[in-house]
Amino acid sequence: MKKKYIVIPVVFLLAAVIAYFLYWKYPSNRESMKWARSLNAAHVEKIEMIVMPSSEEKRYKQFSDHEIPDVVKLVNRSTGKYVEEERSTVGLTRTLYIKLKDGSSHIVSYGRDLVIDGDAYADTPFGSTEDGEQLGDGDSEVPENFYTSE
């Protein structure tokens, strides 16, 4: 009889812990998250990345045509709950500048939070677990007209 009284609270506690973690991992229903999860490599014209902080010689990278599908797969795995205010970033941030063949552009940033077109997401109460590490480092300096060109 005593085992029954112990098992029931343990089952409820386990269910609460599982629900808590699923809450953070379930993708948000915001438009920016829907876009990220549905991005198709065939629609991408180019993807550029800025890595900060980094040495100036390794701050920028333009992904080649054969690298774009892997980058798109990472973006497609985006998950998390929308957070009202992006938390300050401590450490490395990798920001993708994605230009589509239809002329539209999107920005996806991997830091403490995942930020998609200005919307911040976290998949844990402490931020985002995806840090974009698989994107690697930049391989060159930022082009002179990068921030002013369209």
- CA 62 – CA 120 distance, rounded (Å): 24
Tell me the average pLDDT across 145-150. Answer: 76
Enumerate helices (H) and strands (E) in the chain, giving the number of each.
3, 7
DSSP assignment of 123-150 equals: SBTTB-S---GGG----BPPPTTTTT--
Helix boundaries (H) for 26-147: 31-38, 68-76
Sign of the alpha-carbon torsion through 77, 83, 85, 90: negative
List, for residues 69-102, the tens digit of each pLDDT value. 999 999 999 988 888 876 666 678 999 999 999 9
Residue 53: cis peptide before it, omega within 30 degrees of 0 = yes
pLDDT at 86: 66
Provide the pLDDT for residue 45: 97
- The pLDDT, as a whole number, for residue 149 is 63
The pair of structure tokens assigned to 21 is: 């973690």
Q: Where are the domains of the chain?
A: 2-135
21 contacts: CB under 8 Å, gap ≥ 6: none
Interval 19-75: pLDDT, tens: 666 666 666 789 999 999 999 999 999 999 999 998 999 999 999 999 999 999 999
State if pTM tops 0.95.
no
pLDDT of residue 90: 67
Q: Would you say residue 128 has pLDDT above 70?
A: yes
